[in-house]
Amino acid sequence: MAVYDLEEQEQLAELKTWWTQYGNLITAIVVALALSVLGWQGWNWWQRSQSSEASALYMSLQRAAAQQDAKRTRELAGVLIDKYSSTAYAGMAALLSGKTQAETGDLKTAKAQLQWAADNARDEALRDLARLRLATVLLDEKAYDEAMKWLAAEPAAASFAPRFGEVRGDVFAALGKTAEAKAAYAAALAKLAEKVGAGGTAAQQVAPYKAVLQDKLDALGTGTVGGAK
């Protein structure tokens, strides 16, 4: 029994020595882990709170846009961009508000908000759509070179490819570059065909848009597609 007590005392002494050497380090690690968990939980709570608040603001913005209340739409988009830029709603708000501002004639604000969405929206498809809408606004303003800059990169979403080709064709047509315009419209038609296939319901659904593209191509007259004018 005395031997047992002696062994226990030796083990206790070793434990005390070990703790003296490593106790502060272990305590620091435990505290750091606890703070990390608390920080992560706090971050998640903050993210959920931000998303909830942004969602409510975006719903209000949708109502304002539906009523063509450009001022209210612009203000709500500004709040979402300034205070909730980390949420997906900020890009959606900038895109919708930009569309509303363009429709109501405030092209300066429309361009600013669409450019913000094109540069900062979290979703790649939203960035593509913002680029497309911004290019159409610039086309209306006859800012052809700037419009082409926003159309230069192919969209990530294949569904936008025909529209990008069409607007490129519109810009070329406005510049009097007939051959380039025809090539762009023809490319848009080809992308549309790839998207929907040879027939079926999808082909029927896009038939009116296909007709628009074909009309634009036909309006440029006959001749070789592509090459210099």
- With bands split at pLDDT 50, 70 and 90, how would you rate the model's confidence at 229? very low
Contact between residue 93 and residue 81 where contact means Cβ atoms under 8 Å apart: yes
Contact between residue 166 and residue 182 where contact means Cβ atoms under 8 Å apart: no
**Is the whole-model pTM more than 0.75?**
no
For residue 148, the model assigns a pLDDT of 97
Start-end of H helices in 67-200 = 70-83, 88-103, 107-120, 124-140, 144-151, 161-174, 178-196
Q: How far apart are CA 226 and CA 75, in angstroms?
A: 45
Sequence-ordered list of residues with C-beta below 8 angstroms from that of 41, at least 6 positions apart, any chain? none
- With 90 as the cut, is the pLDDT of residue 73 above it? yes
Tokens of 91: 């890009």
Q: How far apart are CA 194 and CA 208, in angstroms?
A: 16
Q: How far apart are CA 44 and CA 36, in angstroms?
A: 12
Taking only the tens place, the pLDDT of each residue in 153-189 is 999 988 899 999 999 999 999 999 999 999 999 999 9
Give the number of C-alpha atoms closer than 13 A to the C-alpha of residue 81, restricted to the C-beta side.
24
Of 17-26, 32-41, 212-221, give the lowest mean pLDDT range: 32-41
Report angle CA 192, 207, 180 to the nearest 5 degrees. 45
Taking only the tens place, the pLDDT of each residue in 104-141 is 999 999 999 999 999 999 999 999 999 999 999 999 99
For residue 92, the model assigns a pLDDT of 94
Q: What percent of the chain lies above the pLDDT cut of 70?
A: 81
Mean pLDDT of the 194-208 span: 72
Cα separation values, 67 from 6, 63, 70, 104, 119, Å? 87, 6, 8, 11, 27
- With 90 as the cut, is the pLDDT of residue 197 above it? no
- With bands split at pLDDT 50, 70 and 90, how would you rate the model's confidence at 228? very low
- Domain architecture of the chain: domains with CATH: 53-153 (1.25.40.10), 161-229 (no CATH)
- With bands split at pLDDT 50, 70 and 90, how would you rate the model's confidence at 206? confident
